[in-house]
C-alpha cells in the first residue's frame, strides 16, 4: 500500500472517529474561497429548467458542527436519548464512552444524517425517471424517483430510505423520503428518529451557479412538531472536471486508529 494512501486513510478515519477533529481542516472545497458560497458578486446565467445536474459543494457550512437543535422531544425520544452517547453537541461524552454507530462500527451514516453532517461535494445526475445523488462522504448514492410513483405504504427499512420527487415549478425539486432504519442517528449530536420519520428536501436552483437546499424533519413519534435543521443552504456549482475523492470509514483502519488512541491513553495513565 502506498504511504501517501495510508496517511490519507488514517486522517480520514481519525476525523470520522474523533469528535474533537474538524474534517473541514483537511478539505478545502477544491480551493474555492468561502466568499464563493455567499451572494454572488457577479451576475450568473439563468438556471436551466428542471435541471439540477452537476457537482455541488456547500463549503464549510455543509460540513461538521456540533449538531442541530431539535424540536421538543416526545417521551419516546427522551427514553432513546438515555442510550445514545454522542461525541458532539450538548450531550457530548468523552471518547471512551461514545457509542455512535458511525464512529464505533463504521455503520453507514444513513439519511438524513448525510445531508446534516459532513455534507461534502456531491454530484447530481438526472435520467428520464430518476435523480441520482452521489455523495463524496462514504462514497454513497441515493435514488430519487421522479416518474410519478407514490411512496410505498409499508417500506422495508433502508439506511438511506425510499425517496420520490416532484417538480414544484421549473426550478424547485421537492423530495419526500420515508423508511429510514432506526439504527441510524438523525445527526452528529445524537438526536434520534423513529421509523415514522418523514424528511422533505427542497432543492431550489437559483441560477446557473447556485442551488439552495432546505431540509424539514417530521417525526411525530420522536418530536412534538416538525423542525427545519437546514434552511436555504447554498451550494456552489463546481467545475465539471472536479474529481471527487473517496472519504470512507473502513473498519480495519478504524481498528488501527483506535489501537493507537488506546496506547496513547494507556501511556497517559502510566504517567499520572
- If you average pLDDT over residues 189-193, what whole number do you get? 94
Q: Which pLDDT score is estimated for 66?
A: 57
Mean pLDDT, the chain, rounded, equals 85
- Over residues 76-101, the pLDDT tens digits come to 999 999 999 998 888 999 888 999 99
> What does the block give as the cell for 249?
470509514
Structure pTM? Answer: 0.83
DSSP state string for 12-47: HHHHHH-TT--GGGG--GGG--GGGGSS-SS--PPP
- Maximum mean pLDDT: which of 25-29, 32-36, 82-86: 82-86
Which residue spans within 95-226 are E strands per DSSP? 122-126, 130-135, 140-145, 162-169, 172-178, 198-207, 210-218
Query: CA 143, CA 134: separation in Å to the nearest integer?
Result: 9
Q: How many CB atoms lie within 10 A of CB 244?
A: 18
Contact between 187 and 68 (Cβ < 8 Å): yes
Q: Which residue has the cell 425517471?
A: 129
Query: Which of the two residues, 174 and 106, has the higher pLDDT score?
Result: 174
Q: Which residue has the cell 453537541?
A: 89
Query: CA 202, CA 141: separation in Å to the nearest integer?
Result: 18
Q: Which pLDDT score is estimated for 41?
A: 57
Query: Would you say residue 34 has pLDDT above 70?
Result: no
Peptide bond into 81 cis (omega under 30): no
Selection from 78, 64, 112 nearest residue 218 by Cα:
112
Query: Which of the two residues, 34 and 107, has the higher pLDDT score?
Result: 107
Amino acid at each position: 500500500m502506498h504511504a501517501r494512501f495510508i496517511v490519507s486513510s488514517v486522517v480520514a478515519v481519525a476525523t470520522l472517529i474523533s469528535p474533537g477533529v474538524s474534517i473541514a481542516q483537511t478539505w478545502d472545497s477544491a480551493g474555492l474561497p468561502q466568499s464563493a458560497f455567499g451572494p454572488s458578486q457577479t451576475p450568473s446565467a439563468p438556471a436551466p429548467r428542471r435541471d439540477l445536474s452537476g457537482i455541488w459543494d456547500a463549503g464549510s457550512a455543509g460540513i461538521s458542527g456540533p449538531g442541530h437543535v431539535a424540536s421538543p422531544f416526545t417521551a419516546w425520544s427522551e427514553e432513546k436519548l438515555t442510550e445514545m452517547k454522542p461525541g458532539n453537541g450538548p450531550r457530548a461524552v468523552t471518547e471512551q464512552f461514545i457509542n455512535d454507530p458511525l464512529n464505533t462500527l463504521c455503520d453507514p451514516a444513513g439519511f438524513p444524517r448525510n445531508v446534516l453532517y459532513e455534507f461534502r461535494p456531491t454530484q447530481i445526475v438526472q435520467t428520464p425517471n430518476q435523480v441520482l445523488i452521489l455523495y463524496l462522504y462514504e462514497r454513497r448514492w441515493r435514488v430519487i424517483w421522479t416518474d410519478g410513483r407514490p411512496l410505498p405504504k409499508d417500506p422495508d427499512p433502508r439506511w438511506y430510505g425510499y425517496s420520490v420527487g416532484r417538480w414544484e415549478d421549473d426550478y424547485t425539486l421537492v423530495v419526500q423520503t420515508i423508511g429510514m432504519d432506526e439504527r441510524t442517528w438523525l445527526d452528529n449530536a445524537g438526536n434520534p428518529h423513529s421509523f415514522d420519520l418523514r424528511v422533505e428536501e427542497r432543492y431550489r436552483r437559483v441560477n446557473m451557479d447556485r442551488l439552495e437546499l432546505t431540509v424539514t424533519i417530521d417525526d411525530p413519534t420522536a418530536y412534538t412538531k416538525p423542525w427545519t435543521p437546514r434552511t436555504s443552504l447554498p451550494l456552489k456549482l463546481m467545475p465539471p472536471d472536479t474529481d471527487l475523492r473517496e472519504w470512507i470509514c473502513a473498519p480495519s483502519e478504524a481498528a488501527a486508529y483506535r489501537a493507537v488512541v488506546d496506547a496513547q491513553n494507556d501511556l497517559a495513565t502510566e504517567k499520572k
